[in-house]
Every structure is written in C-alpha cells, then in structure tokens.
Amino acid sequence: MSAGLKLICHDCDTANRVPADKLGSGPKCGTCGAKLTDGKVHDIAFKTMEKSVKSDDLPLIVDFWAAWCGPCRMMAPQFAQAAKTLAPHVRFAKVDTQSNPDATVRYNIRGIPLLILFDKGREVARLTGARPAVDIEAFVRTHVAQTA
C-alpha cells in the first residue's frame, strides 16, 4: 500500500486522503464525489485556495485573473492545456482577483495574469503575463521535480 496524500476538494473544501499510487485513477472526494485530480482548472475562492496551499501534498499552481482582463481570457485555454498535461501530479486553480480582493493584498499582486506555484505549504515561484501552455509546463517542471 502506498502512502496517502492529503488533498482538499476544490468543490466542497473537504480534506481527503488519497493513496499516491491511485492519483491517476481519478480519485473522488469522499463527501461530494468531485474528482480531485481530473486535469481540469478549478475556479475557486481565495479561502479554498489558502486551505489547499496549507494542506495539499501535491503542488498547486494558481492563475490570479479577472473577467475584464483580455490577456487573462486569452491565456485560459493555454492554462487548461497545461493542466491536462501535468495531471495528476499538479493541481491547477484560478482565483478571480475582483471577487477575492484579499488575494491581491495577501500576495502583493500588481498585475494579472499572474501564476503562483505553491508546494509544501509555501510559494515556490511566480510567472507573470499571458503564457503558452509549453511555458507554463516548463515553469512547473523547473520548480517541482516529481512532474517530469
């Protein structure tokens, strides 16, 4: 039996324990049934993101964006493609800075889109501006070894 990984459900905020060797088989939340490592980008609240950053055993990359931001909307499909490529070893989320102004203060966000990579409860690196999927994937692989 492999070690269990703790993952916060991005739909219901519940902590889940998932065997590491089952990440690729689509583990689901024990409370709401949502997939935990589905390779999709989840639009989450700042509170959920903070909980996930502190608790998750997998790296989390967050796109800080806003609906009015043209480059943010332009990058969204690229971010989604990178999420599919790096699943199930990295989780992807979006936080709307207009709906969650505390995020801009907490992380000193001066411009969007901004990608912040979190691992083991701390910020690992930042990437600013709209980027293609290959750049996002390379950025994550550079800073998190187990995604190769």
Active site residues: 69, 72
d(CA 115, CA 65): 9
| Token output for 108 | 């000193």
Token pair, residue 44, equals 């989450």
H-assigned helices in 11-145 = 46-55, 70-86, 101-106, 133-143
DSSP class of residue 28 equals: B
Q: Give the contacts of 26 (CB within 8 A, at least 6 positions apart).
A: 35, 37, 38
Tokens representing 38 are 């589905």
Q: What angle do CA 42, 148, 62 make, to 5 degrees?
A: 25
Nearest to 41 by CA among 66, 76, 72, 73: 76
